[in-house]
Each structure stands twice: as structure tokens, then as C-alpha cells.
Amino acid sequence: MNKKKGITCAVLAAFIYGFTPILGKLSYVEGSNSFSLTFYRSLLTLPMLFVILKTNKIPLSVTKIELKNLTVLGVLGPVLTALTLYGAYNYISVGMTTTIHYIYPVLVASACVIFFKEKLNKEKLTALILSTIGILLFFEGDFSGSILGVIIALISGITYASFIVFMDKSGINTMFPFKISFYLCIISTILLFIFGIITSKLVFSMSILGWFYTILVAIFVSVLANTLMAVAIKNAGSTITAIVGMFEPITSVILGVIFLNEILSFKNIVGCILILIAVLILTLVRDKKVENDKLISN
């Protein structure tokens, strides 16, 4: 494992996840919707991922166990997490949804300690507490609204936590990262297409600009971010990856100020600082361990 590499990939993935909602909002103006964006970001990247695998001479075959695990991952991540997260926006505010969804790092850490007997050292615990407080400071609204929306947002956090833990513990993260992304896209495309046809939520017509924004989201999320997540979990583990994932709202807030003229409050600034400190703690712990290992080897 290379934790420094894992943390770097987790930060990059969080950055991408953080700015793609802006592109998503732009695609909505051009005729798309949240469900269609989720579907097309999987469908449109399949040819690109296929070319990447063929160029690197990676075999497409998988074992029955790998296919079963990939199917579980596809259902938990690109399907259930996306549907519940976007679905919660229909009932409660974006700020409230985000706050509830980001319970997932706590759930990941708890699951690793309870079910897999992992030790949560003081550095990880400190980073987890700081980043969680930081996330809470991003919440600007109130807790009035639909209880159904709260439940749906909570489910999105649970499914995403399950996605991260399952990828880490099932052994799938040892597979070539782009191969994981390829199969997750296939599985989510099939399931989302069926669900979209049944619910009539799929949009087949939008402007050229709408398709352009959709393609950008597909490349950034399904090709880059999802692949970076797999590399991060493999090298840094599920708990650290989940904590560093809280870097995502920082990107959303800063780019929202730059491109959407949103207001950056004092609470947001403090929240950003706490999350950055948490990521810094995790990084410094890694560097300290490397130095100790070198001293022992010498």
C-alpha cells in the first residue's frame, strides 16, 4: 500500500466530484435532468473505457465471484447512491441533503472497527472529528422539511459507505482500476435504463450544449473520478479515503463562488479549514511512518 498515492488520488477524486455538479446544473438548463445525467455518464464512457482497456491489453474476462462483487458495487454506488442522493433534493434542501449524506465517513470508520476489527488510531479519529465538524459548518438551512427526504438522504450515505467498504474488503480493488470502472458503467447503465423507462425519467433530446456538458460529466466522473477512487481505496484504505472525500464540498463551495456568484460565509471558511487540517493530519502521519520505516531498515 502507498498511502500518499492513495490520499492524492482521493483528493483528486473529491475535487472532480466537487466541480461536476456545476456542469450538471448547466446541462439541466439545456434540457437534461439529474436521472438522465446519471444514466448518460455511465453509458457515454463505455467506449472510452473499452479503448483504454484494449490499449493496455487488459483482458475483459472476469470470474463469477468478480462479476457478483462488481454487480454489488454497481448497485450500491452508481445506482442506489446516485438515485437516493438526487432523490433527496426533491424533498429537502441541497445543504441539508449534503450534511446528512456526509455521515458516510463515520459509517465507514465504524464498520471497519466493528466488523473488521481495524484500529482507529488517534490521528484518524482526530481527522474524522475535525472533518465531520467541518461538514456540519457547510449547512446553512434549517431542519424543517420532509422526513422522507431525510430518510432518503440518510440512505444515500449508508449505500455510499457500503460501496467504499465493500470495494476495500471484497478484493475487487486489486483489479485494474479502469476495468472496475468499465464494469460499474455496464451494470449501472443497464439498471438505470430499465428504471428510467419504467418511470419515464430518461431524456433523449437536449441541446448540443446539453450533450457537451453531459459528456464532460461522464468523462470526469465515470472515467477519472471513479477510477481514482478505486486507486485511493487500494492504497490508502476505506477509512482514510472516506475522510479525504470530505474535500469535495470545499471544491463545490469555492467554484460556486467563482462561477455561480454564491456567497462564501464565515462558517464555510472555517469548515474548509477544518477539512484541510484533517487531510493534512492524515498526510503527515503517512510521511512520519515512511521516515520511521527508513530508519528501521537502515
Average pLDDT over residues 157-163: 95
Q: pLDDT band at 294, cuts 50/70/90?
A: very low
* Residue 132, phi then psi, degrees to nearest 5: -65, -45
What is the pLDDT, as a whole number, of residue 87? 78
23 occurs within a structural domain = yes
- Interhelix angle 208-218/3-29, rounded to 10 degrees, is 170
What is the pLDDT, as a whole number, of residue 291? 45
- Interhelix angle 34-43/3-29, rounded to 10 degrees, is 130
What is the pLDDT, as a whole number, of residue 142? 56
76 occurs within a structural domain = yes
270 occurs within a structural domain = yes
Average pLDDT, rounded, for the chain: 86
Q: pLDDT band at 289, cuts 50/70/90?
A: very low
Quick check: 290 pLDDT over 90? no
- Give Cβ neighbours of residue 31 (< 8 Å, ≥ 6 apart): 203, 205, 206, 207, 210
What is the longest distance spanned by two Cα atoms in the chain? 65
pLDDT of 222-252, one tens digit each? 999 999 999 999 999 898 999 898 888 788 7
98 occurs within a structural domain = yes
Quick check: 5 pLDDT over 70? yes
116 occurs within a structural domain = yes
Helix (H, G, I), strand (E, B), or coil: what is residue 175?
A: coil
pTM here is 0.82
* Residue 145, phi then psi, degrees to nearest 5: 140, -165
298 occurs within a structural domain = no
289 occurs within a structural domain = yes
64 occurs within a structural domain = yes
* Residue 285, phi then psi, degrees to nearest 5: -60, -40
Domain count across the chain: 1
Average pLDDT over residues 104-125: 88
Domain extent for 30 = 3-293
Highest mean pLDDT among 123-127, 256-260, 283-287: 123-127
Cα–Cα nearest to 180, from 231, 221, 220: 231
Q: pLDDT band at 84, cuts 50/70/90?
A: confident
Decide: 89 and 34 in contact? Cβ < 8 Å.
yes
